[in-house]
Each structure stands twice: as structure tokens, then as C-alpha cells.
Amino acid sequence: MERSGRTPFISHLGRLLMVLASVSGVCSPVAAQEDISLGVLGLYGLNTHRADFRALPGVPNCCPAFGDGTGAGASFGVVGRMALAEPFRAEVRLGYTDLSGTLLRQEQTIVSGNRPGVFEHRVDAALRSLTIEPTIGADLLAGLTLFIGSRLEVGAISRFDQRETILQPSRGTFPNGRRTQNERVNAEIPNATALGLSLTGGLQWELPMDEGETVKLVPEVSYAYALTSVVSGLKWNVDQLRIGASIVWWPWRTVVPVFDDERILVEQRLNFIDTVIVDVAPRLARFSPGVDLITESTEENDSQIVVTRTLRRTDTLLRARRSAIEASISAVVRDGQGAEANGSGFNVEEVSSTILTPLLGYVFFEEGASTIPSRYRQLTPGQTAVFRETTVNDQDKLATYYHVLNILGSRLRQKPATGVTLVGCHADVGAETGDTKLARTRAEQVKDYLQNVWSIAGDRIRIQARGLPEKAANSQTTDGAQENRQVEIQSDDPSILAPVITRDTVMVVTPSTLELRCQVTSERAVEQWGVELRQGETVLKTYSGAGAVPQSFECDMQKTLRTSSQEPITYSLTVIDEDGNRVERGGRLDVRVLTVATKRREKMADKEVDRFSLILFDIRSSELSRTNEAIVGLIQQYIRPNSTVTLTGLTDRTGVSSQNQALAEQRARAAARALGVADRAVVAGIGNAVTYAPELPEGRLYTRTVDIVIETPVAP
């Protein structure tokens, strides 16, 4: 027999339940349809309002407190049921529920004239919701089912009427001249809860209505206990006792015909399921079952009756497309001159080293401010006793410079007869135009620090104020204005601002540079890529992006490597294309740590590495200043006939890039000539260098320099 006339909603709801049963493994798709029923529901509800509040938010009411109330309302909707493993079944209801009711409170009071009175406070609430109610039931007896579940209520209508009435005495009015007050008609309930939740439970009794039991009347009595309030922030819950029935229908249940003769009844099922396969991007891959077409036919002969049930369906498989993607990553190590070095890793060598850091005699300030910026390291008076300038001297010259006030205070404390002059300046543009008072206040802030923290007598510190510095930068540019907002430190004693020199052992990484080279070819566009550099479990560097993968990444290993660890370095490249295809490639490099003790024990050749800088080249100049000439004399003491001297000239970002590159090389060559090593030194230049924080004025000044590295072999 063929079935027709299913409504679209009923068909889709049934189909949903069937697929859920199939996916969860409760039963096969064909068997699942046998255990699915659909229906309609109608219930009458007695509503119990549990309340404890005086007035609705923002609505005047003189009621001492509303308590419980009552009401009634109908519920109706559609039902989908599915049999689970005996004796359980699942049910989902989609419907409409009326939770309306009345809150009524009579107040005994005393009115004018010391007479007894009775006021009535009344709220009539119209509460109607769309509901979703999933439940699980268990068969207790044949046809009798106990079920429990929950009900989600989506507020559709939340309105109320309110009125306060004088019942006694028969005469008299409220201040408004009427027997009623605070009236509201068909008003929106303020702060009404949009979503409600109730626990439900009850009993059902299934009564067959046809011979094949494909249609049943299911009376029920149930109760819904509210967990949420009608109004946010108030106690007002609505419970509901429900009485009614549903009519359910098993549209796919096979009705076995009854025959009066003794022929053998044979049932058979035929499944014809096709699958259409389409290749798509992996993110779109999924399986979509088709719509079942079920037919039944009956054939009879003298000995048997054959009932054939046939299912036809076409499913769709969106299969993940695999597109070709190839990637590789390789590592190249290079020495300080950029030449590729032999070997497959890095040596971390502990060597004796001298570090000379020129001291920049300026303190820079923010626009319009006189407070010493927080990047300058400031101590408490108690910390000055243990401060040593040698402990703050670092290969990172800015880290050393930010202790300039502490170095200055320590040196003044050691030389009680020496004084300093602090010259406050301003940028003379914008809000600072002509503001000599601001310039003086900046100098006084530095003086206060030296007096209050380092206990330097005030008569040893002279204050001057002016507009632009004596050697001013161009205040019409952002960088120039930054450099002019300063306090300059001056002293007749050269040792007060002399370079900081320390002798220590340092860990030197050779070769010093790692270049990661990447190659990627892909049929589809690259959606995401990432490069990661690790040492053991520690992530040293990461690079990531979308689109084309850069061909190379360069890393300064002196600053990146964990010099205390011999764990190998691993590097990896991950590429994902727009289809979701993923490829990972990687490699490793060894790390060998050579301490001074190791080199002595193994009688290995050693070396000393000394690092120096010349500073305060004027903008666009390669001429060595007097300060630099003094530093040159110090550096020459460290150069031996067998020393290797490497000079790298630097410029900041001011000016034209091509001209800056030439200027950087000129500075390096000028320093080589001054040191007397022009014929054997390794000279290089870096224009527009970003080594020392180009966004800060002190970073740019430390970038107008020449870095000098002297390596001297030491016999084992």
C-alpha cells in the first residue's frame, strides 16, 4: 500500500527523529521509522502563581506584598515520539502555552476618621509562550507511561492590567479623587524574562483507535514546576497542572494484513540506496541522507502471501578534496660578515670579554611633561648602597643607559668635590613654545632625584634653563622635537660621563646568524602558514601569516639562543591551503656549549672578545667627536697584532635610505683609520638600523655609532 498526504512539517519532524535514532545507534534507518509517531496535543492548564513582591519594576503600587495567585489557560501543539530501548521512549513537543493568572491581595487598614478600611490590590497577567518540551518516558504497565522532562518557554506575550480599589468604607477616595488608583491597562510587563524553564512530569495512557494500532488517543495528567521567574529580579513563578490528551499516528508502521485462509504469510524488505559523491573543500565535507520513498506491495498464490516493503533513497556524500601541496624548510648559518658557515649547528663559547658602553649625557622627556619617564631606572635611597655600575653594564646599551641617573649619582658620591650642571630644554613647538618654566622644571626633577635618592648636596648641582638645546634637532619633525625635549648633563670632570667599562665572561654564539629558507608550491591558495623555532620545549621565535610564504627569515642567534642549554634547535614550517590540506616540514641543528673550564680541560684554543661603541656622531656626519677620540684611545689598548677587528657603522632612520647606507660605511671606515687598523679590519655598514629602538630619541642617538668587536686568540 502507498501512503501520501503527509504535511511538510510532520514529514520533516519525523525525518529528524529517524535520523537521530539512526545516528545514535538505537536502530537502523528503516527500523527507526517503525518506532516514530507524530501527533497533535491539547491540554487544559490550572496555573498556580507563586509570588512574593510588592510592585513591578518602575510601576507604582501600594500593596504590602503580593502572594500566590491562580489562573487557567490552554496548551496545544505538535508531538514527535520515538521508541528507544525497552521500556523507554523519547518525546519532543512544540507548542503554545497560556500561563495567565491573577494576583490578588486585600489589605486591612485604617482610613481617615479612625475607621476600618479594606483595599484590594490586583494584577491580571497575560502570559503566553512558545514552548519546546523534551521528555523521556518509561512504560509502567501496558499502555501506562511515566514521563519526566523540561520545558523551555520563549515569551511571546507578557502584558498586565493593574488596579487598586477601595472596598471599604463605601465612601471615600484616594488622593486622586477616585475609588481606584495606580491603574494600568494592557501594559508591557517591565523586565519580563525572555526565556523560562520548567521541570515537567506526569502519566500517559495509550488507547488504540484502530485495529492496526497506527492511531492512538493518549490522555495525560502532568505538572510543570517553574524554575525561572516571570520578571527578572522578582520572585514570581508560574506552575501548571495540565489535563488533556494527544492523538498520535505511526505513519510508517507496517500493518500486517489478516487472512482467513491458511496460506503462509511471507514478509520481505528491499532496500535500494544510492550515493552521489561530490569532491569539495574539506571544511564542507559531510554526509547528507536523502528522503526515503517507501512502498508496499502484496502478491498471492496458492501456498503463500508475499508482502514486500521497498525503500528507495539517494544519499549525498560531499567528499574532502585532496589538492597537491608541497613545502620545504632549510637552515643556513652565517657568520658576522654574512658568509655561509660550515657545520650543522652553533657553538656557544664562554670567553673573557670587555664591554665598553659610552654614556649618553641626556635625559629625555615626554611632550609637555616634566616627570622623569618610567623607562629610566629609579632606585630608593636604601638601594643605592648596593648599586654598582659594573652590574648594569650590558651588551644591550639602552639597558645600561637607563641607569644613567644612578651611574651619575654613584660617581658624584665617590667624588664629593665634583659638581654638575643640568640644562633643561624644550622643543619650542606646539604647547612647549617659549615655555622656559617647563625646561627649568625638567632640570629640577633630575636634581631632586640626585638630592633625595643619592644624597648629593644641592650646591653641587647647578640648574640652567633655555629653549632649544645648543645642538638642536629640527623640531618641525616628530623625531627632532623628541630629541629637543631633554635635560643635558654637563661636568668639568670627564670621568663623570666617561664610558662604563666592565670585564667579565660572556657567552658568544658562533655562527651568529640563522636564516630559515622556505619553499612552498600549492595548487590552492595558502590560507595560513607558520614558522616556529624551538630549543627543547622553549619557543624561541615564531612567524605566521596568510597568503604567500616569505622565502626566508633571519634570526640573530646571539640574542635568541638559550646560551646555558645544549638542547638542540628544531625548526618547523606548517602550511594550510584554502581546502584545509596541511603539510608540516622541519629539521634540527645541534648546539654545543664550550665553557672556559671545558676549553682548558680539553686544551682547546681560546679567545677574548671585546665589544666597544663610538657614540654621538652628529646627524649626517662621520667625523669623530672629542668624546669619540678619547674612546678610540681606550680601544687601541685592546688591539693586538693577532686580533681580528670588526667595525660596523650604523645610522638611524633620519634621512634618505641610500645615503644612510653610505654614511654608515663612512663612519666605520673613519673609526678604522682612527684605530690604525684600516688595512686589516673587517668594515661594514647598516643604514636605517633598528638595533636600538628607533622610536625613542635615545635609541636613535645610540644608533649614530660604530660597533667594534675585537677578537684576540689566547693560547691554550
pLDDT of 8 > 70? The answer is: no
Q: How far is 481 from 364, CA to CA, in rounded Å? A: 11
pLDDT of 291 > 50? The answer is: yes
Q: How far is 575 from 257, CA to CA, in rounded Å? A: 64
Q: How far is 43 from 62, CA to CA, in rounded Å? A: 37
Mean pLDDT, all residues of the chain: 87
Q: Measure CA 265 to chain center.
A: 67
Q: What percent of the chain has pLDDT over 90?
A: 56
pLDDT of residue 566: 87
pLDDT of residue 343: 67
662: left (phi over 0), alpha (psi -120 to 50) or beta: alpha
Secondary structure element (H or E) that encloses residue 481, with its range: helix 478-484
Q: Say which CATH architecture domain 359-489 belongs to.
A: 2-Layer Sandwich (3.30)
Among the residue ranges 28-32, 266-270, 460-464, 504-508, the one predicted with the least confidence is: 28-32
Report residue 398's pLDDT band, with 50, 70 and 90 as the boundaries: very high
- First and final C-alpha spacing in the chain: 103
Q: How far is 334 from 28, CA to CA, in rounded Å? A: 66
CATH number corresponding to 325-351+505-596: 2.60.40.10
What does each C-alpha distance from 93 to 11, 39, 209, 648 come to in angstroms?
A: 15, 9, 21, 80
- Which of 341 and 589 is assigned the larger pLDDT? 589
Report residue 564's pLDDT band, with 50, 70 and 90 as the boundaries: confident
pLDDT of 66 > 90? The answer is: yes
- Which of 550 and 250 is assigned the larger pLDDT? 550
Region 215-240: mean pLDDT is: 94
pLDDT of residue 257: 55
Region 693-711: mean pLDDT is: 90
pLDDT of residue 589: 92
Report residue 256's pLDDT band, with 50, 70 and 90 as the boundaries: low
pLDDT of residue 11: 47
Q: Answer whether 299's CB lies under 8 Å from 308's CB.
A: yes
All cell numbers assigned to 639: 688591539
Q: If you count them, how many residues does the chain have?
A: 716
Half-sphere exposure of 227 (CA within 13 A, CB side): 11
240: left (phi over 0), alpha (psi -120 to 50) or beta: beta
Among the residue ranges 213-222, 237-246, 334-343, the one predicted with the least confidence is: 334-343
pLDDT of residue 406: 96
Enumerate helices (H) and strands (E) in the chain, giving the number of each.
11, 32
pLDDT of 716 > 70? The answer is: no
Region 21-33: mean pLDDT is: 43
pLDDT of residue 493: 92
Report residue 338's pLDDT band, with 50, 70 and 90 as the boundaries: low
Phi then psi for residue 630, to 5 deg, are -65, -40
Secondary structure class of 307 (helix, strand, coil): strand
Q: Answer whether 644's CB lies under 8 Å from 609's CB.
A: no
What does each C-alpha distance from 12 to 9, 25, 148 come to in angstroms?
A: 5, 20, 25
Q: Answer whether 445's CB lies under 8 Å from 486's CB.
A: no
Half-sphere exposure of 188 (CA within 13 A, CB side): 7
Residues of the chain with CATH 2.60.40.10: 325-351+505-596
- Which of 284 and 442 is assigned the larger pLDDT? 442
Tens of pLDDT along 491-523? 999 999 999 988 877 788 888 889 999 999 988
Q: How far is 493 from 490, CA to CA, in rounded Å? A: 9
In CATH, 9-103+126-160+190-249 is 2.40.160.20: yes
pLDDT of residue 258: 54
- Which of 547 and 9 is assigned the larger pLDDT? 547
655 Cβ neighbours under 8 A, 6+ residues apart: 619, 620, 663
pLDDT of residue 25: 40
Residues of the chain with CATH 2.40.160.20: 9-103+126-160+190-249
Helix axes 626-636, 657-675, angle to 10 degrees: 50
Report residue 354's pLDDT band, with 50, 70 and 90 as the boundaries: confident
Report residue 2's pLDDT band, with 50, 70 and 90 as the boundaries: very low
* CB neighbours of residue 325 within 10 Å: 18
Q: How far is 462 from 445, CA to CA, in rounded Å? A: 12
pLDDT of 336 > 80? The answer is: no
pLDDT of residue 467: 94
Residues of the chain with CATH 3.30.1330.60: 359-489, 606-714
Report residue 260's pLDDT band, with 50, 70 and 90 as the boundaries: low
Q: Answer whether 696's CB lies under 8 Å from 656's CB.
A: no
Question: CA 691, 398, 503: angle at the middle one, nearest 5?
Answer: 105
Q: Measure CA 501 to chain center.
A: 45
Q: How far is 61 from 70, CA to CA, in rounded Å? A: 20
Extended beta strands in 171-288, E state: 180-188, 195-205, 207-208, 215-226, 235-249, 264-280, 286-288
For residue 590, give the DSSP letter: E
For residue 338, give the DSSP letter: S
275 Cβ neighbours under 8 A, 6+ residues apart: 314, 315, 316, 317
Strand partners, 58: none
Q: How far is 479 from 483, CA to CA, in rounded Å? A: 6
- Which of 384 and 300 is assigned the larger pLDDT? 384
* Nearest CA-CA partner of 321 in 284, 289, 288, 287: 284
pLDDT of residue 22: 44
Tens of pLDDT along 590-647? 998 888 777 777 677 778 888 888 877 877 788 888 778 888 988 999 999 999 999 9
What does each C-alpha distance from 120 to 6, 105, 125, 287, 679 come to in angstroms?
A: 54, 6, 16, 64, 110
- Which of 10 and 658 is assigned the larger pLDDT? 658
Among the residue ranges 198-202, 351-355, 547-551, 638-642, the one predicted with the least confidence is: 351-355
Tens of pLDDT along 161-203? 999 999 999 888 888 889 999 999 999 999 999 999 999 999 9
Question: CA 130, 133, 137: angle at the middle one, nearest 5?
Answer: 160
Assign domain 606-714 to a CATH class.
alpha beta
Secondary structure class of 449 (helix, strand, coil): helix
pLDDT of residue 84: 86
Q: How far is 372 from 602, CA to CA, in rounded Å? A: 52
Tens of pLDDT along 519-535? 999 888 899 999 999 99
* Nearest CA-CA partner of 250 in 82, 133, 1, 136: 82
Phi then psi for residue 669, to 5 deg, are -65, -40
> What is the DSSP pairing of strand 101-111 with strand 115-141?
antiparallel
Tens of pLDDT along 126-169? 999 999 999 999 988 878 999 999 999 998 889 999 999 999 99
pLDDT of residue 30: 42
Phi then psi for residue 480, to 5 deg, are -65, -45
Region 238-252: mean pLDDT is: 91
Q: Is the full-model pTM beyond 0.75?
A: no
Q: How far is 639 from 630, CA to CA, in rounded Å? A: 16
Q: Answer whether 526's CB lies under 8 Å from 518's CB.
A: no
For residue 263, give the DSSP letter: P
One-letter amino acid for residue 665 of the chain: E
